[in-house]
Amino acid sequence: MAETNLIPAFLNWVLKYNSQYQDLDRVYLQNHILTLVGGTDPQQVVGDAADEPIALANGLVDFAIKRGAIGTTLPERDILVAQLMDFLTPLPSAVNQRFWQLHEQQSATAATQYFYQLSTINDYVKTAQIAKNIKYTVATEYGDLEITINLSKPEKDPKAIAAAAKMAPATYPACQLCLENEGYLGRLDYPARSNHRVIRFDMAGKTWGFQYSPYAYFNEHCIFLDGKHEPMHISRQTFANLFSIISLFPHYFAGSNADLPIVGGSMLSHEHYQGGRHSFAMAQAPVERSFIWPEFPDVDFGVVKWPMSVLRLSGKNQASLINAASAILAAWRQYSDPSQEIKAHDADGTQHHTITPIARQTKDGAYQLDLVLRDNQTSAQYPDGIFHPHQDVQHIKRENIGLIEVMGLAILPARLLTELQEVQRYLLGQTNEIAAYHQAWADELQAKYGDDLTADNVEQIVRTEVGRVFARVLADAGVFKRTTSGQAAFDQFIQSVISQ
């Protein structure tokens, strides 16, 4: 590949995307970049010619490593890449001004398109890494479940881990969702954020932020975060906030992880919601039985056909939907049913019940609010959680079932990429190194498919069966099981709510 002078080529992109700089600023910018990469003469900073800014930035990082300006660990590379891509990125004030100008003068869609494009061009959203993920769908009785094997997040560098262990503990930023991450350099044990930008908006008199997820799991995967570092908490205000968000961004859904361990997400220390431009299988699932709620005649209310226990509220009056959802939350927090192993709280007051809520607008301008009932109890039989993936499916999925997976998109660990290949070899009678925890499942598949297994179909069969395991995972997380007695108990809970 032909070589090029990296700094001038990179500066062409800077001047294209960052209007705060003009051609008169080239020498100034050139010298700043030269300092970052450890060069003494811009003419000596050469590398492979490239058509994209991220490729040129990586070339500059390679030069910096050769010069000894930075070390060879992945965090050090990421920190310098983010510093370089920050040159392409307008200041937070300029990004916010442009975003809200587009929102007011054109549309919410135009505003998010601008911000998403910026977030991909400046490599905050890691599109190249995200493209490595394995993605497919599996048809089930609940619709097409989405399966992803998450290969986008890089493995932690052992050298970086060792170096980070020697660093003094840091308390700033308080977590990776805080507004203070905007422009933060990063550390060996903390992601680089020089090129990070956050859109500010007011919600219920408080400052909130809107950003995209660096390692997105679906189209325009975004995060709405509280301006203050406060713990997750599902309440009436949660429902009001979700409706505020989809009113601002009617083309996005918005949902919240639950606020309790086991059934919650991975970040319970900072209040935040997730959203994006994607229609999940749960959103497309029908209401299989409806109920009349006399107190809320303008709210359509029913049970969704889904492996988890989902109530759907629909209507055009946000206030009615918020009031109805609040009544369900209050009732569920206190509801117990020993016949279904459902217990609201322990004798010491420890709470076990909460809700995973998801809000969206429909094409006719109405609103939908899905409320997924959650229970985080453990037992001697199920020490990881009674309503958590049970041990016989943990060879595929053992992590918490959070918001995204509740809606029908499995986020499976990278280990499965090679492990499932070994399962396929085992099924074909080839030499293999199948993991012991896959053995029982693989034997079940062998018995089920037998001589029908071929080199041409084994991958598709394994993928289909992984999807079926995921459906079982969701069923494990359902508090009212998809059995006659389970659904009768679900209806009993509903009647207790609407008859109050």
Fill in the DSSP letter of residue 212.
E
- Examine residue 457 and state whether it is found in any structural domain, yes or no: yes
Question: For 332-339, which contacts have Cβ atoms below 8 Å and span 24 or more sequence positions?
Answer: 332/373, 332/493, 335/493, 335/496, 337/489, 337/492, 337/493, 339/485, 339/489
247 and 302 in one domain? Answer: yes
Does residue 370 sit in the same domain as residue 498? Answer: yes
Query: In this structure, are 295 and 420 located in the same domain?
Result: no
**Quick check: is 121 in a domain?**
no
**Are 36 and 11 part of one and the same domain?**
yes
**Residues in Cβ contact with 447 at an 8 Å cutoff, skipping those fewer than 6 apart:** none
| Distance from C-alpha of 253 to C-alpha of 275, rounded to nearest angstrom | 5
Record the pTM. 0.94
HSE-CB of 421 using CA atoms within 13 angstroms: 5
In angstroms, rounded to a whole number, what is the distance separating the alpha carbons of residues 57 and 195?
13
Are both 471 and 495 inside the same structural domain?
no
For residues 274 and 150, what is the distance between their CA atoms, to the nearest angstrom?
Answer: 18
Specify if 150 maps to a domain: no
CA dihedral 430, 435, 438, 444 (to 10 degrees): 30
Q: Which of 45, 70, 95 is the last residue of a domain?
A: 70
> Is 455 inside a domain boundary?
yes
Q: Hey, which residues does 303 pair with through a beta bridge?
A: 289, 311
CB 54 within 8 A of CB 78: no
Rounded CA Rg of the chain = 25
Are 308 and 372 in contact, with CB atoms under 8 Å apart?
Answer: yes
Please state, in angstroms and as integers, the Cα–Cα distance from residue 48 to each residue in 19, 40, 59, 79, 86, following that order: 27, 19, 7, 21, 21
Q: Verify that 317 and 339 share a domain, yes or no.
A: yes
Helix, strand, coil shares of the chain, percent, nearest 5, are: 40, 20, 40
The neighbour count for residue 433, using CB atoms within 10 Å, is: 10
Residues 317, 382 within the same domain: yes
Give pLDDT, residue 160. Answer: 57
Map 420-454 to HEC letters.
HHHHHHHHCCCCCCCCHHHHHHHHHHHHHHHHHCC
Q: Domain range holding 426?
A: 410-477
Please give the torsion angle defined by the CA atoms of residues 411, 417, 420 and 422, in that order, rounded to the nearest 10 degrees: -160
Q: Is residue 147 part of a domain?
A: no
Our count of domains for the chain comes to: 3
Sheet holding 143-149, edge to edge: 134-140, 143-149, 409-412
Q: Is residue 461 located within the same domain as residue 494? A: no
Same domain, 350 and 281: yes
Same domain, 471 and 488: no
**DSSP H stretches of helix in 249-398:** 281-284, 318-333
Please tell me the distance from the alpha carbon of residue 424 to that of residue 434, in angstroms, as a whole number. 9
Task: Please return the burial class of 485, using the count of CB atoms within 10 Å of its CB with bins 0-12, 13-18 and 19+.
Answer: exposed
pLDDT for 266 equals: 76
Is residue 86 included in any domain, yes or no? no
Same domain, 30 and 45: yes
Domain boundary pick from 70, 100, 125: 70
- Give the pairing type, strands 310-315 and 367-375: antiparallel
Q: Residue 153's pLDDT is what?
A: 74
Are the C-beta atoms of residues 259 and 232 closer than 8 Å to each other?
yes
CA distance 467 to 58: 37
The token pair at 197 is 């930008």
pLDDT in tens, the chain (500 residues): 678 999 999 999 999 999 999 999 999 999 999 999 999 999 999 998 888 999 999 999 999 999 999 999 999 999 999 999 999 999 999 999 999 999 999 999 999 999 999 999 999 999 999 999 999 999 999 999 999 999 987 665 556 555 655 667 788 999 999 999 999 999 999 999 999 999 999 999 999 999 999 999 999 999 999 999 999 999 999 999 999 999 999 999 999 999 999 998 778 999 999 999 999 999 999 999 999 999 999 999 999 999 999 999 999 999 999 999 999 999 999 999 999 999 999 999 999 999 999 999 998 889 999 999 999 999 999 999 999 999 999 999 999 999 999 999 999 999 999 999 999 999 999 999 999 999 999 999 999 999 899 999 999 999 999 999 999 999 999 999 999 999 999 999 999 999 87
Identify the pLDDT of residue 155.
Answer: 60
Q: Domain check: are 451 and 489 in the same one? A: no
In a domain, 225, yes or no: no
Whether 28 is covered by a domain: the verdict is yes
> Would you mind telling me the total number of residues written for the chain in this entry?
500
